[in-house]
Amino acid sequence: MIPASEVYRACGALFGTYALAVVAVEGAPTMQSIVLMLADGDDVGFFVLLRDCGDTRPAYTVVPWHATGAVPIEPDGGEVPDVAANAVLRGVPIPRDGSLFGWVRGEPVTALTVIYARYTPETPVPTWSVLPRAGAPEAEWPPFTDERLFGHWFWDHHRTGSIIDLGEVIAATPDTVFWVDTYASLGSDCCVVEGDVKTQDRHVLPRGTYVDSATLRAGIVVPTTAELLADADRTDLTPRFGGARAHCLPHGRGS
């Protein structure tokens, strides 16, 4: 058992430090949530940390991913069960569902990272995919391309500027960045960028097609960017990133 006061302070630190993982709870204007991944050897568990700001001070609750057993975290309470405490103290925050990040080498983005953190039958647990730009040498792919589990390494790269959030620039650049249904031909959907997109921090998301790394390694022929842009089954991502950020990308079509 760990003192509740220690866990309570850690809850506040998570919401203060990992803004890109915070999601507004639909229908509950005073509530927010963060998804946490807790790895213990080969065992991996997911939890949802809830924050209710409706009272004079925030109230926190740890809930197992799609399971029962909610644990309230009281600032003046007793001890917190080990599982709930470890989820807060050791868990890795997962960026909000539908987030799209870029891996940068110098100025250009050479790969995208897509986050899925909302339950669906196709994605019953949070997942993530690396989508390098088709034609980019593998030496330019992210070093975490083959990582089995999401980890604190993601946030380390983000703090050093090697991983950048692309949500704002996509929201400001309509008719340029598209999600295309290529599941039948490539085994996963892909992201197509019609023209170079400059970010506020002087990076560039180059024109091209961004495809799941497993598809590229399998040697599957990827249609040209022009061919994919002619596909009627494409989605402009600007409206998805321009509004609520709780759900930004189509679901169930990743690797």
Q: Domain check: are 121 and 232 in the same one?
A: yes
What is the SS3 assignment for 160? helix
Same domain, 134 and 190: yes
221 and 129 co-located in one domain: yes
Q: Are residues 129 and 234 in the same domain?
A: yes
The answer to whether position 198 is within a domain reads: yes
The verdict on residue 72 lying in a domain is yes
Q: Are residues 70 and 182 in the same domain?
A: no
- What is the C-alpha separation between 133 and 206, in angstroms, rounded? 9
Mean residue pLDDT across the chain? 91
Task: Clarify whether residues 29 and 119 are in a common domain.
Answer: no
pLDDT at 77: 76
Is residue 250 domain-resident? no
**Quick check: pTM over 0.85?**
yes
Which of 72, 94, 116 corresponds to the end of one domain?
Answer: 94
Residue 201 shares a structural domain with residue 142: yes
For residue 1, what pLDDT is reported? 74
58 and 113 inside one domain: no
Q: Residue 251 domain-assigned?
A: no
Q: How far apart, in whole angstroms, are the C-alpha atoms of residue 182 and residue 187?
A: 7
Kindly state whether residues 175 and 53 are assigned to the same domain. Answer: no
Give pLDDT, residue 243.
58
- Answer yes or no: do 57 and 141 share one domain: no
* Residue 180 and residue 72 share a domain: no
Last residue of a domain, one of 94, 122, 145: 94
Helix or strand (DSSP H, E) at 195: none
In angstroms, rounded to a whole number, what is the distance separating the alpha carbons of residues 253 and 75?
A: 41
pLDDT in tens, 90-99: 999 999 999 9
Residues 183 and 227 in one domain: yes
Q: Where are the beta strands (DSSP E) in the chain?
A: 2-3, 23-24, 31-40, 43-52, 59-64, 71-73, 79-80, 92-94, 100-104, 109-116, 127-132, 163-165, 177-180, 190-193, 197-198, 204-205, 208-210, 234-236
Residue 62's identity, in one-letter code, is V
Q: Can you tell me whether residue 94 is helix, strand or coil? A: strand
Task: State the DSSP code for 241.
Answer: H
Question: Which one-letter amino acid corresponds to residue 187?
Answer: G
Residue 179 domain-assigned? yes
Looking up tokens 């031909």 gives: 185
The number of folded domains in the chain is 2
Question: Which domain range does residue 142 map to?
Answer: 100-242
Q: Which of 94, 126, 145 is the last residue of a domain?
A: 94
* Neighbouring residues of 207: CB distance < 8 A, sequence distance ≥ 6: 193, 194, 195, 196, 225
Give me the pLDDT at residue 252, please: 47
Residue-wise pLDDT tens for the chain (255 aa)?
788 999 999 999 999 999 999 999 988 889 999 999 999 888 899 999 999 988 778 999 999 998 889 999 988 878 899 999 999 999 999 999 999 999 998 889 999 999 999 888 888 999 999 999 999 999 999 999 999 899 999 999 999 999 999 999 999 999 999 999 999 999 999 999 999 999 888 899 999 999 999 999 999 999 999 999 997 789 999 998 875 443 445 554 554
Q: How far is CA 68 from CA 50, 144, 217, in A?
A: 14, 33, 40
